[in-house]
Amino acid sequence: MAQKRIKTPLTDEVVKDLKIGDDVLITGEIYTARDAAHKRMVELLDKGEKLPFDIKGQLIYYVGPSPARPGKVIGSAGPTTSGRMNKYAPRILEAGSKGMIGKGEMGSGVQDALKKYTGVYFAAIGGAAALIAKSIVGNELVAWEELGAEAIRKYTVKDFPAIVVQDCHGGNLYQEGVKKYQRV
Amino acid sequence: MREVSTKDIIKAVRDLCIDANYNLGKDVEDALGKAYEKEESPVGKATLSQILENVQISKQGEFPMCQDTGNAVVFVDMGDQVLIKDGNLFEAINEGVRQGYKDGYLRKSILSDPIERKNTGDNTPAVIHLDIVKGDKLKIIVAPKGGGSENMSEVKMMKPSDGVEGVKDFVIDMVKRSGSNPCPPVIVGVGIGGSFEKCAEMAKRALLRPIGSKHPNPFYANLEAELLEKVNKLGIGPQGFGGTQTALAVHIETYPCHIATFPAAVNINCHVARHKEAVL
C-alpha cells in the first residue's frame, strides 16, 4: 500500500483526492479537542462568536494523552473513541475544519457533513499510542487550560500515521471493510 | 497467622500498575502474533503490525502501550492466615495506585463523581475485589481497564428458557454492536450465573485468564471455541477496518444461580489485556 504524504492546513483539492483505505502520513499542525472543548466550541458558534483559533483547513485530533516524561514532548497519544463527538463534528466542519482524526465509526450525520463541507475522517490506530507519540514533535496549549486533559492543544506532527476511514465521497471503511470479511 | 506489611502492599501495587501498562503479557503478545499470521485483510495485517511494533516500543519503558492507562481494577486473594496490623488494606492499595500512576507517568483518568465529573488527580480510588482464600499468602492482581472497551459491556438478566442459545446470541450481538469502538481484536469475558453483580465481576475475572487457556469443563471449553469462531465471522477485524481477526479469545466463567434467574454478562477488553500479579 503506497503511503500518501499530506500537509496541513488541507485544501478541498487534497481532501477530494483521499479515498477510504488510503494510508497517509500527516505533517504540519493539528488541533486536539474532546467532549468538553467541543461543547464549548459549539456554544461559541451558536452565539456567532469566534473560535479560539483559526480553524480553516485544520484537522481536529480526538485525544487525551498520558503525561509527558521530563524532556519529552508528549506521553502516549493514541486516539479516543470518535463516536462521542458525532453531535459536534458537523458544526466544526461547517466552521471550516477539513476533518478529524480519531478511532471508531462516526455516524451518518458526520458522513453527510464530510460530503457537504468536503471533509475527511482519518483513523489513528488505537493501540499504537507509543508509536504515534514519536510523530508528535511539538505540543502547545491553545485555549481553556482549566479543562486540564480536555484543553485545546496544538501538536506539531511529522509523518503522523493515519488511515482514511470515512471520505467526502460517501465511502465508509468500517462498513465496506466489514462487509467484505463477514462470513455469517 | 502471618503478618503482611502495608509498606510491601503499597510497593507491590505501585510496581504492578507500572508493569501492567508498559509490559504486555507474553500470552497476549503471542496471540497478537498469531492473529497477524492468520489475518486475511491487508489493512488488518498492517494494523496488527503497528500494534506489535507498539508493544515493543512500550517495553523500553518510556511510553505506556496506550494513553488510556485505565481504571485501576485490583483483585485481591487474601489468605485466611494473613494479618495486616500496620494499616488498612484498601488504603494501602490506593496509595500504591497513587504512587504507580505518578511515578509511571500514567494518565489520571478517574472522576470523583460520575455526574459532576471532576478529576481526582491521582487515579484513585481503585476498584477493589477482595476474596478470602485458604493459606497465608496475599495475592494481588492489578488489571488496568480502559474506558473505551469498558463502555462496550453489558449485564443481561435472561430467562432460564433462553438457554445456551440465548448466551450465544447475547455474546455475538455484543461484539457486533461494539464494532470498532473497543479496539479490536478484542478479548471477550463472559460471566454466566451468580447474580446481577456477580456475573459482571466474573466476566471481568474471565479477562485475567491466559489467552489460549480453556475452561476446565469441556462443555464450556467447547462453547468458548464456538463463540470465538462465530465472533470472528463478523468480519470486524483489527480496529474495525474489516478482517478475520475480530477476537483473540472468548473466556467464560460460571457460578451457581437462583432457580428463577439466568444472568449473564459480557465485559469486552481491547487487544491489550493488561494484568500483572504479585504474591506477598
ipTM metric = 0.90
Asked whether the beta carbons of residue A1 and residue B42 sit closer than 8 angstroms, the reply is yes
Q: Which residue in A35, A134, A181 has the most chain B C-beta atoms within 10 A of its own C-beta, making it the best mutation to test that interface? A: A181
Which residues partner with A30 through β-bridges? A155
State mean pLDDT over B36-55.
96
- Interface size A-B, in CB pairs within 8 Å, comes to 158
For chain A, residues with pLDDT lower than 70 are 1
The C-alpha cell of B139 is what? Answer: 495475592
Question: Pairing between strand B247-255 and A120-123?
Answer: unpaired
Phi, psi (5° rounding) for residue B93?
-60, -45
Establish whether the linkage from the previous residue to B216 is cis, with ω within 30° of 0.
Answer: no
State mean pLDDT over B42-59.
95
pLDDT for the residue A1: 53
Within 37-96 of A, beta carbons closer than 8 Å to B belong to 63-69, 72, 75-78, 80-81, 83
For chain A, give every domain's residue range. Answer: 3-181
pLDDT for the residue A148: 79
For chain B, give every domain's residue range. Answer: 2-20+65-145, 148-273
State mean pLDDT over B15-30.
98
Mean pLDDT of chain B: 97
Which residues of A have a catalytic role annotated? 38
Tell whether domain A3-181 is in CATH 3.20.130.10. yes
- Per-residue pLDDT of B229-273, as tens digits, reads 999 999 999 999 999 999 999 999 999 999 999 999 999 999 999
Q: How far is CA A42 from CA A4, A9, B81, in A?
A: 32, 21, 59
- Per-residue pLDDT of B138-166, as tens digits, reads 999 999 999 999 999 999 999 999 999 99
- Residues B174 and B182: their CA atoms lie apart, in Å, by 11
Q: Find where cell 470498532 sits.
A: B180
- Per-residue pLDDT of B78-133, as tens digits, reads 999 999 999 999 999 999 999 999 999 999 999 999 999 888 999 999 999 999 99
pLDDT for the residue A41: 97
Asked whether the beta carbons of residue A131 and residue B180 sit closer than 8 angstroms, the reply is no
For B235, the closest of A67, A123, A181 (CB atoms) is A181
More confident residue, B274 or A147: B274
Within 144-163 of A, beta carbons closer than 8 Å to B belong to 148-149, 161, 163
For A66, the closest of B106, B181, B235 (CB atoms) is B106
- Per-residue pLDDT of B163-218, as tens digits, reads 999 999 999 999 999 999 999 999 999 999 999 999 999 999 999 999 989 999 99
- Residues B236 and B243: their CA atoms lie apart, in Å, by 6
pLDDT for the residue B117: 85
pLDDT for the residue A83: 93
pTM: 0.93
Asked whether the beta carbons of residue B63 and residue A75 sit closer than 8 angstroms, the reply is yes
Asked whether the beta carbons of residue B106 and residue A176 sit closer than 8 angstroms, the reply is no
B42-59 vs B26-38: helix axis angle to the nearest 10? 160
CA nearest to B234 within chain A: A182
Pick from A6, A8, A3, A5: which is nearest to A138 by CA?
A8
Q: Please enumerate in sequence order all residues whose Cβ is within 8 A of that of B120, keeping only pairs 6 or more positions apart, or say none.
A: B108, B110, B111, B112
Could you report how far apart the first and last alpha carbons of chain B are, in Å? 14
Count of CA atoms in the C-beta half-sphere (13 A) of B130: 9
